[in-house]
Amino acid sequence: PQDSVEVDLSGIKVSDDALGDVVEYGAVDSMWFDAKSKQVHLYGSAFVKYTTLNVKAGYILLDYTKNEIAAEGFPDTSGQLIGLPELQDGEQNFTASSLRYNFKSKKGIIYEARTKQEDMYVLGTKAKFIGSEEVDTLKSRNTIYNQDALLTTCDDPHPHFGIRTKKLKVIPDKLVVTGFSLLEIGGIPTPFALPFGFFPITKNRKAGLIIPRDFEFADAEGLGIIKRQRKNRGGA
| 35: Cβ contacts below 8 Å, ≥ 6 apart | none
Backbone angles phi, psi at 39, to 5 degrees: -130, 150
pLDDT of residue 137: 46
Reply yes or no on whether the pLDDT at 54 is more than 90: yes
d(CA 159, CA 188): 11
Reply yes or no on whether the pLDDT at 82 is more than 60: yes
Which of these, 145, 123, 141, lies nearest to 132 by C-alpha position? Answer: 141
Are the C-beta atoms of residues 86 and 50 closer than 8 Å to each other?
no
- Write down the pTM of the prediction: 0.72
User: Would you state the torsion angle of the CA atoms of residues 135, 124, 151, 228, taken in this order, to the nearest 10 degrees?
Assistant: -170
d(CA 16, CA 32): 26
Mind listing the pLDDT tens digit for each residue in 117-127? Answer: 888 899 999 99
Residue 128 CB coordination number (10 Å) = 16
pLDDT of residue 236: 47
Q: Which residue pairs, CB below 8 angstroms and at least 24 apart, start in 181-188?
A: 181/151, 183/211, 184/150, 185/160, 185/161, 185/211, 185/215, 185/223, 186/160, 186/161, 186/217, 187/158, 188/223
Mind listing the pLDDT tens digit for each residue in 92-139? Answer: 888 999 999 998 888 999 999 898 888 889 999 999 988 765 545 445
pLDDT of residue 168: 93
Mind listing the pLDDT tens digit for each residue in 203-234? Answer: 655 544 555 555 555 555 555 555 555 555 55
Taking the CA atoms of 21, 97, 110 and 15 in sequence, report the sign of the dihedral they define.
Answer: positive
d(CA 185, CA 213): 11
Residues constituting the chain = 236
Which of these, 90, 162, 87, lies nearest to 121 by C-alpha position? Answer: 162
Return the exposure string of 180-211: e unless at least 16 CB atoms fall within 10 Å of the residue's CB, then b: ebebbbeeeebeeeeeebebebeeeeebebee
